[in-house]
Amino acid sequence: MARIVDLELYRRQQRAQQGLKAWRNRFGWNFGSDTRLMDIPDRIVGIQASPGLSSTVAFYELIMGLLGYRPELSFEELDGRDQSKVLDIHLFLADNFRFEVMFRLGWLERFSGRRLTLLEMVLDFQRVRQLSFGDPPALASSHPGYGHYRRMVLLDRQVMIRKLIPKALEAFEDRLK
């Protein structure tokens, strides 16, 4: 009897294997197609949440691999449209890794990216980004700045959370020592 194969599912699984291979090698951890931010060890979250060339290169490897670009192709070799697409996804992923840091510190009550897989964030980027706009990160009521945060309008709340990122990265790095 012939087996029915969901071609789109098969393609996603193949892309996941290709795209996640670089991260498995880089970090020595078994990333899978179902890996969510909440599943990733603190050490790796801390590395990828930190701004810099190392995390940028790693994000480009992941994104370009999952999107099906040839492994030997560098970001700089992409045309402008593809560079823009990769960069948008990179910034979205970096934000979500930073929100994950804040969540693990107990500074955020919730953020929508925590429940999503890396695969979804990259391959379904447009849909996922729209969903995240409708459900922005929320500061935890236990955070010392919560009283001020609560009196702010939504846009100012988002700005306040982003301004906390450098302190969160520093606190997380101290916790990892």
Is residue 62 one of the residues assigned to a domain? yes
Is residue 5 one of the residues assigned to a domain? no
Q: Does the pLDDT of residue 165 top 70, yes or no? A: yes
The tally of domains found in the chain comes to: 1
Rounded average pLDDT over 79-83: 96
| Domain with 44 in it | 11-176
DSSP state of 117: B
Q: Would you place residue 5 in the very low, low, confident or very high pLDDT band (cuts 50, 70, 90)?
A: low
- Better pLDDT: 151 or 177: 151
Is residue 1 one of the residues assigned to a domain? no
For 23-80, the pLDDT digits (tens) are 999 999 999 989 999 999 999 999 999 999 999 999 999 999 999 898 889 999 999 9
Q: Would you place residue 20 in the very low, low, confident or very high pLDDT band (cuts 50, 70, 90)?
A: very high
pLDDT of residue 123: 93
Say if residue 121 is exposed, middle or buried (CB neighbours under 10 Å; 0-12, 13-18, 19+): buried
- Contacts of residue 22, Cβ cutoff 8 Å, sequence gap at least 6: 58, 61, 62, 65, 71
Q: What is the C-alpha separation between 40 and 101, in angstroms, rounded?
A: 11
pLDDT of residue 116: 93
**3-state SS, residue 36:** strand
pLDDT of residue 71: 82
pLDDT of residue 2: 61
Nearest partner of 135 among 165, 105, 109, 117, judged by Cα: 109
